[in-house]
Chain A
Amino acid sequence: MKDINEDIAWAKINTDVLRSLESPRKLYWVIVFGALAVFSVAVGCEVYQYNMGMGVANMDNPHVWGLYIATFIFWIGMSHSGTLLSAILHLMHADWRKPIYRFAEAMTTFSLMTAGLFVMVHLGRLWQFYYSLPYPNDRSLWPNFQSPLLWDAMAIFTYLSSSVIFLFVGMIPDLAICRDHLHAGWRKKLYTVLALGWEGTDRQWRNFRVTYLTIACFLIPLAVSVHSIVASDFAMSQQPGWHVTSFPPYFVAGALYSGCAAIITLFIILRYTFKFEEYMTLAILKKTVRLTFAIAMVWTYLNAVEFASVWYSHDIASKEVLIQKATGPYAIAWWGMIFCGSVVPLILAFKRFQTNIPVLLVTSLLLNLGMWLERWMIVAPTFSHGIYPWTWDHDQWPSWVQWGMVFGSFGWFTLLFMVFCKVFPSVSMYEVKEMVYHRTLASKKLEDSGMQESGKGAH
């Protein structure tokens, strides 16, 4: 099974991808308006919470963190796969990434933007959020550089701005194609501006390659650091269940895991709505699925490491929290996490299912459900069974406001993502052309050498 059909003409690639900017299937509009409706739920919840105070989210003392922080970690995690596909695999010369990295990179940007929203809605005084930024002021008031939350704000902002630049730079040659092919209108003006006068000269290509590679190299450590720092929010604290040394790698693995699962979901949706069957081929899907399976096993291993290190430590409080997770009020969610995160991915090991689209759609959604539960199970149980006994008899359950906001964030993400895919080419045209070209060359070479081999044999 070939990753891509080597006979596709370059002109056909252009037409096929540009068509996605014009006429998607009807399902596209269903998704967009559905997402808008879902997002408006979150807006409603936020307006209510903003006016009334955080109490309507049904948090209490000591349960001061809830689904907002859990979902924040979830979205930050989601953003990692884009960098994995576009930067890490780029450096590793895995060219099968080429038809799918653009949307993965867009996913990075939009999930970071969604995560940013959760930082905001979590704040008790949202209108004062800028206090956490190191801006110059005449009282020399600075944020607290010791706080992992501040590192968080900085890491996320750096990662977001870098990934926007990466997304944009990688898109320049394609924007020029759009500029040259579309009829006059606001879009043409937009592409003209964004293409930065790209003409495809040798010099431009050379500079482009260098820039792209540089940003890719810059982005990889950022991706690792951003989730390690999110992990530090917990690992740097003193609370049982959070104060775990292995959290940073555990978080990064979890992030790549949920990101890859999301790529499978979006792969399937995009492939259908924008009729990308020829580019997003089953062979590529299969490779993504195998990658996801590998990461799922890494995550499972790190999970086991965490449990073991807590279990065999002498820290009674941490051990109690672990027991509470498995048997207490959160038991359903915790076992759900184990099932969805470690058992469900075993399906991906079977070749028969690696290209089965309905099965993969359901599986990838379940994997992300598991990963969302994981984040919740990191955040919440520590509060209900903390180190201090007074916290033990306080049960707490998130209110509809919290659930509404979590639900609505998926609408916001989908909305941004779908609008992006309609306005910008979600398959990289120039890279697909490259891929087709290189593949053709490679098979030709193989044929030639094969002939020589056989020729030698004849002598």
Chain B
Amino acid sequence: MSVTNLLENWAEFRHTHPVDDVPHDPYKWAMSIDMDTCTGCNACSVACYAENNLPVVGKDRYEHGQAMHWMRIERYWPEDGREFPDQGAQFLPMMCQQCEAAPCETVCPVGATNHTADGLNSQAYNRCIGSRYCSANCPFKVRYFNWYDYPTTENVWPAEMTMQLNPDITLRGKGVMEKCTFCVQRIRAGERSVKNEGRILRDGEVQTACQQVCPTNAITFGNLVDPDSRVHQQWKAQRVELTVDEQEKDKEEGGSDLRGYRILEELRPYPSVMYLERVRESAI
């Protein structure tokens, strides 16, 4: 970075850093989640714990709200006059939305969270000083802070349990912020393996852990700029655009047949996750 960068468009510079990167070429990673098929089974959350070396913090810490679930299943209870068990919960899987104009990125004093050219919101653990401004400004509150030193003093993975840790991922010590990465280690490994073949990743070659385990295929992940990818087709079918803050669905008068929407779009973070609205009755 230099003064020239500062005087020119700094936001542009952030987006394409390092210098030769071109945004969204050839990848823009995105997701779509079908709330109709989601059963709230939490398998995605468990898979995320296993894949990303998330510490299981224990009951006490969980009660204190210090859980580290990058992928969380939220429950909503519609106010329709019914009570459980007559009424079932509605589930919403929530993880980092990898916003294109991420509110967390601009506020980090040290630039520990940045945008990659393939549309991920990256987090550099080594650079993080733990000011927690990113979490304070995150509209979705999907950032999780290491309140304790889980790998060492908290002894989350005693003795042999370290054998089940994912070697592709670092363990995070106390005082750094972390969040869903769209399983960036899998993306990078996939990119490297196809580089030898001189091509780019095809749809389905990289799956996120949550997508892989979802028993009902509610989660679709892929390259949004690849017209053959399932995620691209879903976004297109729902006429959801990445770069607008109001979708066709909201513009249609008197309700719409379209189901695709993005959460808190009006704040203009331009999330990379599209949700498909629930249309069936609650599970019970």
Interface residues, chain A, with chain B CB atoms under 8 Å away: 52-55, 58-65, 122-126, 128-129, 131-132, 140-150, 153, 233, 236-239, 383, 386-391, 394, 396
- Bound Cα distance A61, B128 (Å): 17
CB B90 to nearest CB in A, in angstroms, measures 12
Chain A interface mostly: loop
In the complex, per-residue mask of B1-29: 1 if CB is within 8 Å of any chain A CB, else 0? 10000100011001000000000000000
Q: Can you identify 26 A-B contacts, CB atoms within 8 angstroms?
A: A52-B153, A52-B174, A53-B148, A55-B61, A55-B148, A59-B145, A60-B64, A62-B138, A63-B65, A65-B136, A124-B132, A124-B146, A124-B175, A128-B129, A129-B129, A131-B129, A132-B109, A145-B6, A146-B10, A153-B109, A236-B107, A386-B139, A386-B141, A388-B139, A388-B264, A394-B65
Contact between A143 and B175 (Cβ–Cβ < 8 Å)? no
Partner of B132, one of A65, A126, A150, A390: A65
CB A2 to nearest CB in B, in angstroms, measures 51
Contact between B143 and A148 (Cβ–Cβ < 8 Å)? no
- Bound Cα distance A145, B107 (Å): 9
- Bound Cα distance A142, B138 (Å): 23
Give the number of residue pairs across the A-B interface with Cβ within 8 Å. Answer: 147
At the interface, yes or no: B111 with Cβ under 8 Å from chain A? yes
CB A122 to nearest CB in B, in angstroms, measures 7
Q: Which of B1, B111, B127 has the most CB of A within 10 A?
A: B111
At the interface, yes or no: B74 with Cβ under 8 Å from chain A? yes
Partner of A149, one of B67, B131, B145, B176: B131
Give every chain B residue within 8 A of A237 (Cβ-Cβ): 103, 107, 136-137
Give every chain A residue within 8 A of B133 (Cβ-Cβ): 147, 149, 233
At the interface, yes or no: B110 with Cβ under 8 Å from chain A? yes
Number of interface residues of B (CB under 8 A): 49
Chain A's closest residue to B127 (CB) is A131
CB B61 to nearest CB in A, in angstroms, measures 7
In addition to A53-B175, A54-B175, 7 A-B residue pairs with Cβ atoms within 8 Å of each other are A54-B174, A123-B175, A124-B128, A124-B175, A124-B177, A147-B107, A238-B139
At the interface, yes or no: B220 with Cβ under 8 Å from chain A? no
Known: A132-B129, A144-B109. A238 touches B137 (CB 8 A): yes
Known: A60-B65, A124-B176, A389-B76. A143 touches B135 (CB 8 A): no
Contact between A238 and B130 (Cβ–Cβ < 8 Å)? no
Give every chain A residue within 8 A of B284 (Cβ-Cβ): none
At the interface, yes or no: B157 with Cβ under 8 Å from chain A? no
Chain B interface mostly: loop
Partner of B129, one of A52, A124, A383, A389: A124
At the interface, yes or no: B106 with Cβ under 8 Å from chain A? yes
Contact between B106 and A147 (Cβ–Cβ < 8 Å)? yes
Chain A's closest residue to B177 (CB) is A124
Contact between A53 and B146 (Cβ–Cβ < 8 Å)? yes
Give me the 9 closest cross-chain CB pairs, A-B, nearest first. A124-B130, A124-B175, A55-B147, A60-B65, A53-B174, A144-B111, A64-B132, A125-B175, A149-B109
At the interface, yes or no: B108 with Cβ under 8 Å from chain A? yes
Contact between A390 and B94 (Cβ–Cβ < 8 Å)? yes
In the complex, per-residue mask of B52-91: 1 if CB is within 8 Å of any chain A CB, else 0? 0000000001001111000010101000000000000000
At the interface, yes or no: B163 with Cβ under 8 Å from chain A? no
Give every chain A residue within 8 A of B175 (Cβ-Cβ): 53-54, 123-126
Contact between B127 and A58 (Cβ–Cβ < 8 Å)? no
- Bound Cα distance A63, B138 (Å): 12
Give every chain B residue within 8 A of A394 (Cβ-Cβ): 65
Contact between B147 and A149 (Cβ–Cβ < 8 Å)? no
Contact between B135 and A144 (Cβ–Cβ < 8 Å)? no
CB B64 to nearest CB in A, in angstroms, measures 5
Partner of B141, one of A58, A65, A388: A388
- Bound Cα distance A126, B131 (Å): 9
Partner of B143, one of A54, A61, A140, A141: A61
Contact between A145 and B103 (Cβ–Cβ < 8 Å)? no
Contact between B106 and A391 (Cβ–Cβ < 8 Å)? no
Contact between A55 and B66 (Cβ–Cβ < 8 Å)? yes
- Bound Cα distance A220, B252 (Å): 54
Give every chain A residue within 8 A of B129 (Cβ-Cβ): 123-125, 128-129, 131-132
Partner of A125, one of B74, B136, B176: B176
- Bound Cα distance A283, B146 (Å): 55
Give every chain B residue within 8 A of A386 (Cβ-Cβ): 139, 141
Known: A124-B176, A238-B137, A396-B65. A149 touches B107 (CB 8 A): yes
Give every chain A residue within 8 A of B61 (Cβ-Cβ): 55
- Bound Cα distance A64, B176 (Å): 12
Chain B's closest residue to A128 (CB) is B129
Contact between B130 and A125 (Cβ–Cβ < 8 Å)? yes
